[in-house]
A and B are shown apart, each in its own frame.
Chain A
């Protein structure tokens, strides 16, 4: 019996009888992080990190959830489980599973760079490593985030000088807060779309510090926004909501903005390459650091990345899952239960 199996409900540990990030309703689910394609509705029991819990509960409502701290060990039917920072969003974890000396790691979504907001990624040694490869092509190489934020802030400054509103989209959970935390508020105020502000409120109430933001609401005048920054989810970009802002410059922050074609297809003025997923170098670094010989790739450019790993000498396999990486995050399912 393998320590983990791939079933139609999700990744399954038969010895412990638990699933990790399952996409169909199950009895017991261990959750890597709060994005909609990883923490789904309908499980009878959830286990996630203490810092991921508030948002998951906010999204899923009255669920039966238990929390665990990073590094803390929990034994289920003799299998040792522990959660380790994945650096993807606040509270995101890689889940380490150990049984009779065999170790697996399910990394969920992750990134190597410390973004100053999510708990910084830590490599975890294992025999078998389950990884995403959303950006598993050598064309995806992120710049250090400070350079990207410098670009964003100077774009904001320039828009302000031209009497424009800066509207920047990034998914509501994770990207939005990471951006807010790095904006230069000496330039102006930060306004937020309701979907973003709802998440902000949840995160602040768990004691995490976040720069001040103001929710966009009916009572505000068009000219209040001029020279200021508005953060919204990607879905708001094409909607009527955006018309509130007179003369706005539109920006998109996403890893997909790496490609010129993608930048041009989006009806935005600027594309900033900013992702909460590992880039090509990061993937290879993480896989090497895990010390694993067996690699399972779940979502992204799986065919290509598997072949690359096989040629590099790994026992690499593709697992068909229903995770969607930054695609889901672009569509931003967290919006569905918001007003605005």
Chain B
């Protein structure tokens, strides 16, 4: 546990990728227990021990052990925003030294499952008394199940590659699938080779730059291919050796997360690699990106999830065909092959990203203005004679995003922030006019400077009408410009609409509240 705690502290203390990889590699080198290494790999790839104690009990025991009333523990939790951390902070600082392995503590947590509540309580309190602050925090994280360390699977794989001398793609392959440290060993999982691993190897993604001005400077429109920009997860779908592999842009293998694609293993010929967008899609329309995100976060993909957020692959490009790497062929040639491949496959789950017809840039601008009708984020421009490059290289691929929608709204509720900002009001609820009434329609927080937050906080304190816990209603007075990316009708909201990515764009000190927008103005965006 000491070595893992040291690793965790090192990872937590840096934002730099290289330092994280170095800390991990050092841990792998120094750790004396192979099983601890395996558990570390498991934890960093979101494989956690089953939850054996519910969090309500943990909160009670922590408040007992910390000698504070439960309400004070809960208030502290509200400020900290993380249960494992709140417990570690409120427990008495004294502890008895121990030097058990990470695996020991994980087994300890697993053994709690079959105990009576009273025994669990004694055991958990005993554990807290053995551990120092960092170890307690980790213990609590393991017991509550949510371990966010700020290390992607990719970084972990890079460190493991440094330590073992095995190639990264190979390791990524070895780590995929349904394993837990209970049914394998570090040696069997990581160090032994698997004949399938070369088959899964993806190509590096080519990434587009954002076009800040219009496309006029790109030259002749006929040299360009335009498609809609879809808001999903960029992915690479590989069929080789009758096997299917799906990689996300983060270069993580996500095959298991998208069982919908399984059918393509048979329908696409071996030696096919597609670049496309993993897009939640139903009844002929893309669904909200949030649905996809909740899906990614789940360990098990249930029937219900598959029904609520089914995905398709919106194919953009073809990188390998009949076992040949065709990335150096011009876009136009690859496109023809892609159209052929998608047509031959003839499966609903594989769609072709349509090309837009335009004779001049004005016509394309008009298409861009229609982006919201298609639930798209704007336009992608790709040079017709360009190869498929690696990484982000300027010149051949551009994304031309739509401008956000804006509305002027009146602030009516304010809520305290967390942590350093816990004394500031940082979360606000905004309303628009419906006759004489102000109808709340969204919450928004980011977008103000620290100075503006202090200014608005001082104002909120002086103009509070009512308090509800951490929330205050305030005299309607200040107008803010709210930017958002999308809007849809919603019965669950009083205003009848729900926004996507709402944020504060600026504080409209120049506008009296009477001049804020109306609900009718807001609803007009629904048909825009």
Residues of A within 8 A of B (CB): 134, 137-141, 254, 256, 258-267, 269-270, 299-301, 304, 307-308, 311, 320, 322, 324-325, 327, 330-331
A328, closest chain B residue (CB):
B454
Check A260 against B423 for contact (C-beta < 8 Å).
no
User: When the two chains form their complex, are residues A259 and B72 in contact, meaning their CB atoms are under 8 A apart?
Assistant: no
Chain A residues near B15 (CB-CB < 8 A): 264, 267, 269
Residue interface bits B303-344, CB-to-A below 8 A is 1, else 0: 000000000000000000000000000000000000000000
Which of A138, A139, A265 makes the CB contact (< 8 A) with B420? A265
Docked-complex contact B76 and A139, CB < 8 angstroms: yes
Q: Nearest B residue to A258 by beta-carbon distance?
A: B89
B100 to chain A, nearest CB (A): 24
Contacts A139-B80, A331-B450 given: A269-B75 contact, CB under 8 Å? no
- A272 CB → nearest B CB, Å: 11
Q: When A256-B420, A258-B89, A261-B419 are in contact, do A327 and B76 touch as well, CB less than 8 Å?
A: no
Within 8 A of A (CB), among B175-228: none
Q: Which of B418, B423, B451 contacts A261 (CB 8 A)?
A: B418
Q: How far is it, in angstroms, between the C-alpha of A100 and the C-alpha of B15 when the chains are bound?
A: 59
A139-B90, A304-B75, A331-B454 known; A260 and B82 CB under 8 Å? yes
Selected contact of B419 from candidates A134, A256, A269, A300, CB within 8 Å: A256
Interface residues on B, range: 20 to 34
B490 CB within 8 Å of chain A: no
Nearest CB of A to B9, in Å: 11
Instruction: Write the nearest CB–CB distance from A159 to chain B, whole angstroms.
Output: 12
Which residue of B has the minimal Cβ distance to A269? B14
Q: Which 9 residue pairs are nearest across A and B when measured between Cβ atoms?
A: A262-B419, A139-B89, A262-B420, A256-B420, A261-B419, A259-B419, A304-B75, A138-B90, A139-B76
Distance of B424 from chain A, by nearest CB (Å): 7
Contacts of B93 in A (CB 8 A): 141
Establish whether residues B423 and A259, one from each chain, have CB atoms under 8 Å apart when the complex forms.
no
B76 touches A325 (CB 8 A): no
Report Cα–Cα, A3/B75, bound state, in Å. 34
Check A139/B79 contact, CB under 8 A, given A259-B419, A265-B420, A331-B451.
yes
Q: Which residue of A lies closest to B462 (CB)?
A: A320
B6 near A: Cβ within 8 Å?
A: no
- With a CB–CB cut-off of 8 A, which chain A residues contact B424? 327
Pairs A–B under 8 Å by Cβ, sample size 19: A137-B72, A137-B79, A138-B68, A139-B79, A139-B80, A139-B86, A139-B89, A256-B420, A259-B85, A259-B418, A259-B419, A260-B85, A261-B80, A261-B418, A261-B420, A264-B150, A267-B15, A307-B72, A308-B69
Please tell me which one of the listed residues A267, A270, A330 contacts residue B13 in the complex, with CB atoms under 8 A apart. A270
Q: What's the minimum C-beta distance from A286 to chain B, rounded to whole angstroms? A: 18
* Inter-subunit contact A311/B75 (CB<8 Å): no
Chain B residues within 8 Å of A, Cβ to Cβ: 12-16, 66, 68-69, 71-73, 75-76, 79-82, 85-86, 89-90, 93, 150, 418-420, 422-424, 450-451, 454, 458, 461
A138 and B69 contact, Cβ closer than 8 Å, known pairs A260-B85, A267-B15: no
Contact A304–B72 (Cβ < 8 Å): yes
Contacts of B81 in A (CB 8 A): 261
Give A134 Cβ to nearest chain B Cβ, in Å. 8
Contacts of A140 in B (CB 8 A): 89
- Nearest-CB residue, chain B, relative to A155: B13
Contacts of B90 in A (CB 8 A): 138-139
Partner of A265, one of B66, B150, B419: B419
CA distance A116 to B72 in the complex (A): 33
A190 CB, nearest partner CB in chain B, Å: 23
Evaluate contact between A327 and B423: CB separation under 8 angstroms: yes
User: Would B72 and A138 count as touching, CB distance under 8 A?
Assistant: yes
Q: Which residues of chain A come closer than 8 Å to B89, judged between CB atoms?
A: 138-141, 258
For residue A333, give the distance in angstroms from its CB to the closest CB of chain B. Answer: 11
With contacts A261-B420, A266-B420 known, what are 8 further pairs, Cβ within 8 A? A137-B79, A138-B89, A261-B81, A269-B14, A270-B13, A320-B461, A324-B454, A331-B454
Nearest CB of B to A320, in Å: 7
- B contact residues around A307 at 8 Å (CB): 71-72
Among B13, B71, B76, B150, the residue within 8 A (CB) of A269 is B13
Q: Are B450 and A325 in contact, with the CB atoms below 8 A?
A: no
Nearest CB of B to A297, in Å = 13
Residue of A nearest to B63 (CB): A138
Residue from B15, B90, B419 having most chain A Cβ neighbours under 10 A: B419
Most buried by A among B15, B75, B81: B75
In the bound complex, CA of A324 to CA of B85 (Å): 26
Q: How far is the CA of A308 from the CA of B76 in the complex (A)?
A: 12
**CA A269 – CA B461 in complex, angstroms?**
34
Least distance between B62 CB and chain A CB atoms (Å): 10
- The CA-CA distance from A79 to B420 in the complex, in Å, is 40
B66 adjacent to A138 (CB under 8 Å): yes
Tell me whether A308 and B72 are in contact in the complex, defined as CB-CB below 8 angstroms, given that A259-B85, A261-B80 are known contacts.
Answer: yes
Alpha-carbon separation in the docked complex, A264 to B420 (Å): 11
